[in-house]
């Protein structure tokens, strides 16, 4: 029959004893030295069978357990009282001392586990060196009235009111009106002299938008009466106006009665 041992890795004999106590689910103050010693020795024998190296501290603990166990099994010697002196053993009980060491070791082991968990949680956090975030800060706008007093604001308000009163002054502007009839006469006069002109020449100089519109209407009316012919050499080119022949001035003006 083959026996398979599954051995845990322990940091020392106290760690092994705590493992055995927790495995047995007993209180550390009520631990049976006899049972725990047997389990401890079984573990050391298993290590020897697997040819594992047993350190000296495990052997020292085994000797301590065997010593405590033997003292519990052997009867206690009778107490001898001297008439003059009574000797008392001030030393600690080896079992109590071992239990105290186990309790202290358990505290440190629990603290070590907490520190290990904190180390793992901290390892999941990535940090970087602090940097200057001043370029990313919002610029605080300066107060436009900083350093001004109430009197300064009142004077500025009064100055604005004076400007507004002058701005609201109403002036009447009269413009010179030009009729289509007058513009036809001007165009006919130019065409009789030059026979062919461009539209840009008729609207050159400082001329208003109203005069340009009236000039265009006059050309349309002359084209309607077939006194002129308008054409372009290419798309978006200047309009060329050509005089088609002499016409009575009265005949030209008859078409302007509706204007």
**Contact between residue 99 and residue 8 where contact means Cβ atoms under 8 Å apart:** no
Q: What is the pLDDT of residue 118?
A: 92
Q: What is the pLDDT of residue 74?
A: 64
Q: What is the pLDDT of residue 86?
A: 43
Q: What is the pLDDT of residue 84?
A: 39
Q: What is the pLDDT of residue 4?
A: 43
Q: What is the pLDDT of residue 115?
A: 93
Architecture per CATH, 180-254: Orthogonal Bundle (1.10)
Q: What is the pLDDT of residue 250?
A: 47
Residues 48, 49, 54: CA angle, nearest 5 degrees? 15
Per-residue pLDDT of the chain (259 residues), as tens digits, is 444 444 556 777 888 888 888 777 777 767 777 777 888 788 778 777 665 566 677 777 777 777 777 776 666 666 555 443 444 444 567 777 888 888 888 888 889 889 999 999 988 888 888 888 888 888 878 887 788 888 888 888 888 888 887 766 666 666 667 788 888 888 888 888 888 888 888 888 777 888 888 888 988 898 888 888 888 888 888 888 888 865 545 455 455 545 5
Long-range CB contacts for residues 171-179, cutoff 8 Å, separation at least 24 = 175/208, 175/210, 178/210, 178/211, 178/214, 179/214, 179/256, 179/259
Q: What is the pLDDT of residue 165?
A: 76
Q: What is the pLDDT of residue 252?
A: 53
Give me 108's structure tokens: 């440190």
Beta-bridge partners for 228: 243
Give me 38's structure tokens: 């047997």
Q: In the 3-class helix/strand/coil scheme, how is 80-110 assigned residue by residue? A: CCCCCCCCCCCCCCHHHHHHHHHHHHHHHHH
Q: What is the pLDDT of residue 96?
A: 78
Distance CA 158, CA 154 (A): 6
**Domain ranges in the chain with CATH number 1.10.10.580:** 180-254
Q: What is the pLDDT of residue 216?
A: 87
């Amino acid at each position: 029959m083959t026996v398979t041992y599954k051995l845990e890795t322990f940091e020392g004999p106290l760690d092994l004893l705590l493992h055995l106590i927790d495995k047995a689910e007993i209180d550390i103050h009520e631990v049976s030295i006899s049972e725990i010693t047997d389990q401890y020795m079984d573990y050391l024998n298993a290590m020897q069978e697997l040819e594992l190296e047993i350190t000296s501290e495990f052997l020292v603990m085994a000797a301590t357990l065997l010593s405590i166990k033997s003292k519990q099994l052997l009867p206690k010697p009778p107490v001898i009282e001297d008439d003059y002196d009574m000797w008392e053993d001030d030393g600690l009980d080896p079992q109590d001392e071992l239990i105290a060491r186990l309790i202290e070791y358990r505290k440190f082991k629990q603290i070590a586990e907490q520190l290990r968990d904190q180390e793992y949680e901290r390892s999941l956090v990535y940090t970087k060196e602090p940097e200057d975030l001043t370029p990313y800060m919002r610029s605080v706008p300066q107060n436009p009235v900083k350093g001004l007093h109430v009197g300064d604001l009142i004077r500025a308000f009064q100055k604005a009111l004076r400007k507004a009163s002058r701005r609201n002054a109403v002036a009447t502007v009269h413009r010179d009106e030009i009729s289509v009839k007058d513009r036809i006469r001007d165009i006919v006069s130019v065409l009789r002299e030059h026979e062919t002109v461009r539209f840009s020449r008729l609207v050159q100089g400082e001329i208003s938008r109203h005069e340009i519109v009236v000039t265009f209407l006059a050309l349309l009316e002359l084209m309607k009466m077939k006194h002129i012919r308008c054409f372009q050499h290419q798309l978006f080119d200047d309009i060329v106006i050509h005089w088609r022949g002499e016409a009575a001035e009265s005949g030209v003006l008859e078409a302007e009665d509706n204007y």
